[in-house]
Amino acid sequence: MIGNTMSQTVVLGVIGSDAHVVGITILEQAFSAAGFDVVNLGVQTSQEQFAEAAADHDAGAVLVSSLYGHAEQDCQGFHQVLEEAGVDAVTYIGGNLAVGQDDFEQTRRTFRELGFDRVFDSETDPEEAIAALRQDLEITPTESERVSVSS
C-alpha cells in the first residue's frame, strides 16, 4: 500500500494478568503526539478484548505490552484469536517479556514465531517504535510533519 492508505489507528494494552500501566501511558502519549489514533485498553487485557477493539476500530496495528515476564504464556494463540475476529493488523510486542531474560535475541525469535511482526525490549525508545510502525504501515510523513521535524 502506498502513502496513508492503511488505518492509523493503534490498539494498545497490557496483556494477561500484568498490571503495569506506565509503559502504555508513555506509548499512548507518544503515538498520539505522532498523529496516530490510539485506543488504550489499559491493563490486564485479554486476547479477546484486543481482538474486539482492533476489529471495532479497524486498527492498522495492535501493540501489546508486558512487563512481568510471562508474555509468552499470555500470547499463546493470540494471532489465531485476531484472525478469527477478522483482524488484519501489524502486531508489536514490547517490554520485559521473559523472566530472567538474558538473551533478548532468543526472546525476539520466540515472539516472532508466535506471529508478532516486531518485538521490542523494555529499553526501546517510543520514537523507534513509531518509526517502525510508519514503515510497516507505509505511512509517509505529511508536509507539516516534515517541516516540524526539520525545524
92 touches 64 (CB < 8 A): yes
Q: Is residue 81 part of a domain?
A: yes
Domain with 15 in it: 9-143
Tell me if 89 is assigned to a ligand binding site: no
Q: What is the pTM of this model?
A: 0.87
Tell me if 97 is assigned to a ligand binding site: yes
CATH value at residue 84:
3.40.50.280
CB contact set of 148 (below 8 Å; sequence gap of 6+) = none
Q: Is residue 33 part of a domain?
A: yes
> How many domains are contained in the chain?
1
18 catalytic? Reply is yes
Report pLDDT for 1.
34
Report pLDDT for 142.
59
Residue of 20, 57, 70, 79 with catalytic role: 20
d(CA 125, CA 67): 15
CA atoms within 13 A on the CB side of 37: 10
**Rounded mean pLDDT, 3-13:** 75
Tell me if 66 is assigned to a ligand binding site: yes
Q: Is residue 2 part of a domain?
A: no
Q: Is residue 103 part of a domain?
A: yes
Q: Is residue 126 part of a domain?
A: yes
13 touches 24 (CB < 8 A): yes
- pLDDT (tens digit, 9 = 90+) per residue, 57-91? 999 999 999 999 999 999 999 999 999 999 999 99
103 catalytic? Reply is no
Q: Is residue 22 part of a domain?
A: yes
Q: Is residue 151 part of a domain?
A: no
- pLDDT (tens digit, 9 = 90+) per residue, 32-60? 999 999 999 999 999 999 999 999 999 99
Tell me if 100 is assigned to a ligand binding site: yes
Q: Is residue 99 part of a domain?
A: yes
